[in-house]
Amino acid sequence: MLIRFSVSNFLSFNEKTEFNMLTGDVQRHKHHVYDMGKVKLLRTAAVYGANGSGKSNLLIAMNCMKSDVLRGNPDYKQFVFFKLAHQDENTGMSDDSCFEVEIGTNHGSFIYGYKFNALLGQVNEEWLTGTVRNEGDIFRRKRTSLNTFDFHVHPKYKKTKEDEIRLDIINKEITSPSDLLLTKLGIREESLSDANFVYQWFKEKLRIVDLDQPLSLAAGMHKNDELKVFAEEQMCKADVGITGLNWKVHSLEDYYGVEANEKIELIKMKFRTGKKILSDMEMDRDIVIVGDEAKQDVKQLVYIHKDKEGNDHEFEGWEESEGTNRLVELVPFFFYLLKNPRCVVLIDEIEKNIHPLLLKRWLSQFLNTKKTAGQLIFTTHAAHLLNQDYLRTDEIIFCEKDSGGATSFNRMDAFDVRPDLNIEKGYLSGRFDAIPFLDYDPNWDKYTLVDEPAE
């Protein structure tokens, strides 16, 4: 579960900016809350704001942190710090960028973070703290010079001489100034178990639609019959004309074409190394390649439509509408939310290509399903969702920029909101800010043709 995330000096985030899933003093929709014992967390968060306010940057920042942890170091060549902040006139240096997350896992709650200087390409500080047992720092390291750190590890991980030797070896494996210790520890189950829990949360529990590695519906359906039933049920009931899902099987040569010899050979090579299933998301998200060293087949997901006489016809994904393909993209993520305890899914512009009634129905199902296991965070301009009969006021987050171009977040429950207030009308009229204020004349007339165009 996500408890809170903070970031500074990255994209539109200047000073430390926090986004959290903690509940406020709201009494409605108590089933929207996960009781974690010491803290209560929201099931969902809907982030509203004008274009350019920084909504998407929240997802980009969280995806950046996830990628850094899984890769083992921040990608300083692609890093974008807050450009509107003060920089040293002589060196052009800006402050460190900082990422920190507090999460709840099956093994306790943890705070993990690091400070990184993009211009120098180096991590200057990194820490992991346990919050449930008040045990303090599990580890903390702070750069004292170009090649040295002040390094501290909790005593419980240094009980024996073997423990100390193991930690010393891992510490020496950090050969680059941008290396993250959490990654070195996390991939080794025998080192710090707490570090492994946090690393696995980033790897297995955090999913960011469009930015993260996508969840292939085809691959998921091949592995999980329950997902096939769920996906077929959702797509058939969405009133998009689909009456069923099916498989169409091809050989590698028939599907890719004989001219794609290099690609086919690369696929076969992967199966010779023991692969049993392979997705090719670059080529087609609706396929999964299955087989063994001797033979491989391409299973292609096709969508069944009926004509007026009731005859079945197979449609490929590219023949379906943008809206239908968006639903296909989101189905495995909603299934993931239902089946994976403590997972977190983030979706940018959740309403994109989806009819308002269908979007509201799917979100209602998620919010009102008692055994939902995860958290859903999404950005949106869908004002029709702003209804107190539908969302708690602490689930509605407003995102806006100040006069210096820095993004901040405010929750609706911080405003004086009556239980009977039409919050959709209030939002669009500017009561909560976080909308574009368009009090100007665009004066498009001066760009139109003065005279009628010649025939």
E strand or H helix that includes residue 228: helix 225-237
Rg (CA), the chain: 25
Nearest CA among 104, 3, 37, 46 for reference residue 342: 104
Question: Domain 1-211+348-455 carries which CATH code?
Answer: 3.40.50
Nearest CA among 74, 146, 171 for reference residue 113: 74
pLDDT per position as a tens digit, 243-273 = 999 999 999 999 998 788 888 999 999 899 8
Number of neighbours of residue 398 by Cβ within 10 angstroms: 23
Specify the residue for token string 């970031």: 7
Going along 307-419, which residue ranges are E strands?
Answer: 312-315, 344-347, 375-379, 396-401, 407-411
| Phi/psi at 254 (5° precision) | -70, -35
> Exposed e or buried b for every residue in 349-364, given b needs 16+ CB within 10 A?
bbbbebeeebbbebbe
One-letter identity of residue 3: I
pLDDT per position as a tens digit, 44-103 = 999 999 999 999 999 999 999 999 999 999 887 777 888 887 665 554 556 899 999 999
Do the Cβ atoms of 278 and 289 come closer than 8 Å? yes
E strand or H helix that includes residue 384: none
Specify the residue for token string 């052009």: 92
Q: Is 431 exposed, middle or buried (0-12, 13-18, 19+ CB in 10 A)?
A: middle
* pLDDT at residue number 348: 95
Nearest CA among 239, 224, 436 for reference residue 335: 224
Nearest CA among 279, 253, 370, 265 for reference residue 332: 279
Q: Report the distance separating Cα 231 and Cα 246, nearest Å.
A: 11
Q: Residue 111: which residues within 8 A CB-CB, separation 6 or more?
A: 100, 101, 102, 127, 128, 129, 131
Q: Report the distance separating Cα 396 and Cα 366, nearest Å.
A: 16
Do the Cβ atoms of 374 and 345 come closer than 8 Å? yes
Helix axes 322-339, 356-368, angle to 10 degrees: 0
Ranges of the chain whose pLDDT falls below 70: 86-94, 132-135, 189-192, 212-214, 281-283, 450-455
Q: Report the distance separating Cα 26 and Cα 29, nearest Å.
A: 8
Pairing relationship of beta strands 97-105 and 44-49 according to DSSP bridges: unpaired
Taking the alpha carbons at both ends of the chain, their separation in whole angstroms is 65
Going along 39-189, which residue ranges are E strands?
Answer: 40-42, 44-49, 97-105, 108-117, 122-130, 136-143, 149-153
Count Cα neighbours of 130 within 13 Å in the Cβ-side half-sphere.
19
DSSP structure class, residue 96: P
E strand or H helix that includes residue 279: strand 277-279
Which residues of the chain does CATH 3.40.50 include? 1-211+348-455
Query: With left for phi above 0 and alpha for psi between -120 and 50, is residue 413 left, alpha or beta?
Result: alpha
- The alpha-helical segments, DSSP class H, found in 287-382 are 322-339, 356-368
* pLDDT at residue number 110: 93
Length of the chain: 455
* pLDDT at residue number 173: 74
Q: Report the distance separating Cα 365 and Cα 31, nearest Å.
A: 12
One-letter identity of residue 248: K
* pLDDT at residue number 453: 63
Q: Report the distance separating Cα 278 and Cα 157, nearest Å.
A: 39
Query: Which tokens belong to 285?
Result: 């998200």
* pLDDT at residue number 165: 72
* pLDDT at residue number 210: 77
* pLDDT at residue number 440: 79
Nearest CA among 4, 192, 173 for reference residue 103: 4
